[in-house]
Amino acid sequence: MALIEARGLRKDFDAPGRGRTVTAVDGVNLRVEAGEVVGLVGESGSGKSTVGRLLLRLLEPTAGEILFRGQDITALDGESLRPFRREMQMVFQDPYASLNRRMRVSDILEEPLRVHGVPKGDWESRIEDLLVMVGLGPDVRSRFPHEFSGGQRQRIGIARSLAVEPSFIVADEPVSSLDVSVQAQVLNLLADLRARLGLAMLFVAHDLAVVRHVADRVLVMYLGRIVEEATADVLFADPVHPYTEALLSAAPVPVVGVRRDRIVLQGDIPSPMAIPSGCAFRTRCHLAEARCAEERPELEETSPGHWKACWVR
């Protein structure tokens, strides 16, 4: 049984002033096993962050199901959802905007403990443990967010997400706003915490090189749909979908002297309000055929555990 699973997940938003809806997530199926890190990759506007927020019930799905430890939590709310909220937490993308600049570190970490009913007598030791766990130390507890660097702020955000001992974390582009050298430190911290605590994680990113560092399995998303899924080793060694190939061709090769032929995507990702017919990727695909404009390909398994949605491959 998966720790968390989505079946046919869909999210529509109202288009302001247009009297119609825009589909940001369209029929997504995914699962994350206990202790597993799943990477969700795609360009900005592909719907990745929306999927993460749907899983945590920060957004209400338009259709589909969300199961946690086999229990359907799609329609739960209020007190019935509270025990699951404790199990599922989030690390946000922007370490500057996600921390209240008027709160001291101790207050930031106390907040989830108070909300989830952790006995007050346990707060001090728990906050100390969290700060040590993320490599800051308890002496920073009285400081404010503006006194820290971006990487240190993200460590505080990670500590906050771990405060109530969750089993599942959505890490929403947690290193994209950090310098490259700091990115490596935060990624190493997340890997260490995953190993130490047995955390499961959905790691949302647009950078395949970053995902390669942390993920066991990778899902590639384009305009609201999953177009390829495989274990990280298989996906990086043998990508099938042209979109995955293009993303991978732009990622650095971790072998000295080895280079890839770059596949340059033409134009920007289309607006969700004007999704192309058939295969949504066809307008930027160097392999597109006439059929691609007429029929939308569904995910099919090409080899055990490797799925793709493409007519050409």
User: What is the distance of C-alpha 202 from the center of its chain?
Assistant: 5
The whole-number average pLDDT for the span 131-136 is: 96
Distance (Å, whole) CA 106 – CA 245: 45
Q: Which residues, 6+ apart, have CB-to-CB distance to 71 below 8 Å? A: none
Query: What pLDDT is stored for residue 242 in this prediction?
Result: 95
- Residue 252, pLDDT above cutoff 70: no
Other beta carbons within 10 angstroms of residue 290's beta carbon come to 9
Query: What pLDDT is stored for residue 286 in this prediction?
Result: 87
Which structural domain range is residue 37 located in? Answer: 4-98+167-308
The whole-number average pLDDT for the span 167-192 is: 93
Whose CA is closest to 215, among 230, 228, 227? 230
Distance (Å, whole) CA 253 – CA 59: 37
Query: How do strand 20-32 and strand 4-15 relate by DSSP bridges?
Result: antiparallel
The whole-number average pLDDT for the span 217-223 is: 97
Domain assignment present for 152:
no
The whole-number average pLDDT for the span 216-244 is: 96
- For residue 29, the surrounding DSSP H or E stretch is strand 20-32
Domain assignment present for 78:
yes
Query: What pLDDT is stored for residue 240 in this prediction?
Result: 94
In tens, the pLDDT along 80-127 reads 999 999 999 999 998 888 999 999 999 999 999 999 999 999 999 999
Query: What pLDDT is stored for residue 91 in this prediction?
Result: 96
Domain assignment present for 120:
no
Domain assignment present for 148:
no
For the ranges 58-67, 175-184, 186-195, the lowest mean pLDDT is seen at: 175-184
CATH number of the CATH domain containing 77: 3.40.50.300
Q: Could you give the percent of the chain with pLDDT greater than 90?
A: 79
> Helix 123-133 crosses helix 105-115 at what angle (to 10 degrees)?
120
pLDDT class of 253 with cuts at 50, 70, 90: low
The whole-number average pLDDT for the span 14-24 is: 83
Is residue 5 exposed (0-12), middle (13-18) or buried (19+ Cβ within 10 Å)?
buried
Query: What pLDDT is stored for residue 265 in this prediction?
Result: 82
The whole-number average pLDDT for the span 188-192 is: 95
Domain assignment present for 116:
no
Considering the chain, what is the average pLDDT of its residues? 92
In tens, the pLDDT along 26-78 reads 999 999 999 999 999 999 999 999 999 999 999 999 999 999 999 999 999 88
Domain assignment present for 137:
no
Q: Number of structural domains, the chain?
A: 1
Domain assignment present for 132:
no
pLDDT class of 254 with cuts at 50, 70, 90: low
Query: What pLDDT is stored for residue 258 in this prediction?
Result: 46
Domain assignment present for 304:
yes
Query: What pLDDT is stored for residue 256 in this prediction?
Result: 46
Backbone angles phi, psi at 287, to 5 degrees: -110, 5
What is the 8-class DSSP label of residue 169? E
